[in-house]
Structure 1
Amino acid sequence: MPACGPRTDQAGRGVHQVHGDRRGDDARDRSSNARVHLRGDGGTDRRGPPAGVHVATHAHGAKGIKAAVEAGVDTVEHGTFMDEEAIEMLITEDVTLVPTLSAPYRIARNVEQATKESLRKSGPVYEHHIESFKQAVEAGVRIAGGTDAGTPFNYHGTNSTEISFMVEHGMDPIDAITAMTGTAAETIGLEDAGTLEAGSYADLLVIEGDPLEDVSLLREPTAVMKGGEVVAGAIPDLERDR
């Protein structure tokens, strides 16, 4: 996913990102201030994005989410305070939800180290976020994995933990794994990536066990393969272990 914050300098590379509403405890009340499209002069309006430009919106409140969907965004990051209408719009308009369950969790679980501002914004948000995610899963919203890395205590490389959160809160293991791999790649326009098949490009994790039975196994791979070569760890000698 594109880095956090509105950027116009990446438009030439097919990327636009807008913030759909304010964060924190006022997200529900002020989401009507949504900025749903960036113009070249830095202004905003509600027109659809240019052809071929992927638009992601970091949106919390239902009003902001609905305004963004109406404007033609491709993905909604967070989706914290969605209502039934917002969820239905995501399905009808084929907009992908990137729930980023890791972001509020990290702050909620690091209360002693978090700043007062972070706690003010995220404290009452976490439970709402989980409930919105559960409703989206049950309704059949298309979901792609993403962590919103860079928010407090939320570091890069924790994708497997996000998968665990998605499973814990309603997704089937295979669906959560697919959301973080194939669906995520497809969502941002990466062809021939994120799937386990001949000719597809992806880092391959080798684990001991069945991740469909225990997705936490993904956090401790035995080896990592890239381009057909082992780049970390070692593949077990299956013949020797028999």
Structure 2
Amino acid sequence: MRSRELGNLRAVLSSFFVCFFFLSFDEALAKQELKILKVGNLLNVETGTLTQNQEILIKGDQILNVGAVTDIGIIEKAEVINLSALTVLPGLIDVHVHLIGDSRIKGYRALADSIPKKTLFGASNAKKTLMAGFTTVRNVGSPGFADVALRDAIEEGVIDGPRMLVSGPSIGASGGHCDNNLLPPRFNNFSDGVADGPWKIREKVRQNIKYGANLIKFCATGGVLSKGTNLKMQQYAEEEMRALVEEAESRGRRVAAHAHGTKGIKTAIKSGAASIEHASFIDDEGIKLALERGTALVMDIYVSDYILEKGITLGFLPESINKERTVGRVQRANFQKAHKAGANIVFGSDAGVFPHGLNAKQFSYMVEFGMKPIEAIQAATLKAAELVGRADVGIIKAGLKADIIGTSVNPLEDISALENVNFVMKAGKVYRRE
């Protein structure tokens, strides 16, 4: 009898502990799901205003509410994160990065690295970028679809990194900026994206999309870092550009056009490119066209100083350094001109030419060359979100992704504060907290 009673007691106790365990487990899960950020200053990037002593309620990867949380049940279940000493704003977006590869090796030295090795560096670069406060990036150009693999690994939670939109290999003409011109003819070395003529270009667009590209990037003109290309020279005919854009858009993809030279910029805009990368020699007509067509200008005005300072040591080609001595100054002057005219300038740094994680250095240059701090921040939040087609990021608002960063110094007073973020959250998960 006692044995039966003891057995019953054990069963009851076992059931009790099982229930207690699962209740505790459910509470732990609830705390992981629900978070309340207690914010000292909240920056509204739409209006440019700061609001003090706000609360942001987050469930999973989504913002539920911005404002005071009064529900006692929610307060008891939520993890409370004290950010009262910080200015909080949306996670930053860089629309022009190259995560794949070792940013310390350039020119001929870079030929020795295999795509698997470049991809491993990409994993490290992705984490540095995220920890610097950039929660979304657009990767414009990558060998062997390594950027697709990196994007997927991040989305599957294998590694930490920003949300990625990727182009796969950049498409370009034989011998152009998107080709590899470093080796002599006997090596028969061509880059993945080389295509000439409208139908070959259409085929290349289809291949990129087949293997996972979110967007298409092509080279409309020569570039700084390519051997033997003229920055000002257009490399695709208008017929070719139109075929590329038409094919991409028919498959729901936007197009980014690398273009330094005046003619190439205007032809790319007329052909329907969503963004012009670099836009160094843009003239008044080009600015007017961009305004009329709603084309974004992605002007990487920090990188010039890095190339001129570190280029020789890192192995940049001498001709690349000589090109940069001219193009950097012109690009900054045209940045000022385009901004004054009201052009849609979006934040893109060209990180990968310089070390990843230093993307935010560009903000100070944008302010130096004419923008107000809030305009530079808008270029890297709501404007960038619009360009990459992500309506769920770029603003701190109920219903959007919980991509949130914080700085100890108000970036409206000192834009360089964005170079040293103290808090990083992407999709509701905290990655950095100091």
Q: Which consecutive residues of structure 2, in runs of 5 or more, have no partner in the other structure?
A: 1-137, 142-169, 172-192, 194-204
Task: Answer yes or no: is the 8 Å Cα contact 1:57–1:73 preserved in 2.
Answer: yes
- Give the counterpart of 1:177 among 360, 377, 382: 377
Residues 93-113 of structure 1, C-alpha deviations (whole Å, 9 max, x = no match): 100011112332220222542
Matches within 5 A, 1:144-183: 144-151=346-353, 154-183=354-383
Q: Does 1:189 align with 2:389?
A: yes
Cα deviation for residue 223 of structure 1 reads 2.0
2:126: which partner in 1? none
Aligned to 2:242: 46
Distance 1:56 1:35, change over 3 A: farther
Residue deviations 1:128-152 (CA, integer Å, cap 9, x gap):
010111111000011111111222x
1:90 corresponding residue in structure 2: 290
Contact residue 166 and residue 176 of structure 1 kept, 8 A? yes
Secondary structure of 1:81 counterpart: coil
For 2:411, what is the secondary structure of its paired residue?
A: coil
Runs of 4+ residues over 4 Å off in structure 1: none
What does residue 325 of structure 2 align with?
123
CA RMSD of aligned residues (A): 2.1
1:86 and 1:144 map into 2 onto residues whose CA distance is: 16
One-letter code of the match for 1:221?
Answer: V
SS at match of 2:413: coil
Give the equivalent residue in structure 2 for 1:240. none
Counterparts of 1:199-214 in structure 2, within 5 Å, are 199-214=399-414
RCO higher in structure (CA 8 A, sep ≥6): 2
1:202 is displaced (CA, Å) by 4.9
1:11 aligns with 2:216: no
Q: What is the TM-score with the length of structure 2 in the denominator?
A: 0.48
Q: Taking structure 1 as reference, are residues 45 and 221 closer, same or farther at Cα in structure 2, changes over 3 Å only?
A: closer
Aligned equivalent of 2:276: 76
Q: Which runs of 5+ in 1 are unaligned?
A: 38-43, 235-242
CA contact (8 A) 2:312 2:318 kept: no
Identity of aligned residues (%): 32
With normalisation by structure 1, the TM-score equals 0.84
Alignment-derived partner of residue 27 in structure 1 = 231
Give the number of equivalent residue pairs: 224
Residue 392 of structure 2 aligns to a residue in which SS?
coil
| Structure with greater strand percent | 2
Structure of greater Rg: 2
Higher alpha-carbon deviation: 3-12 or 136-145: 3-12
The alpha-carbon distance between structure 1 residues 233 and 175, as it changes in their structure 2 partners (threshold 3 A), is same
**Which of 252, 258, 264 is equivalent to 1:64?**
264
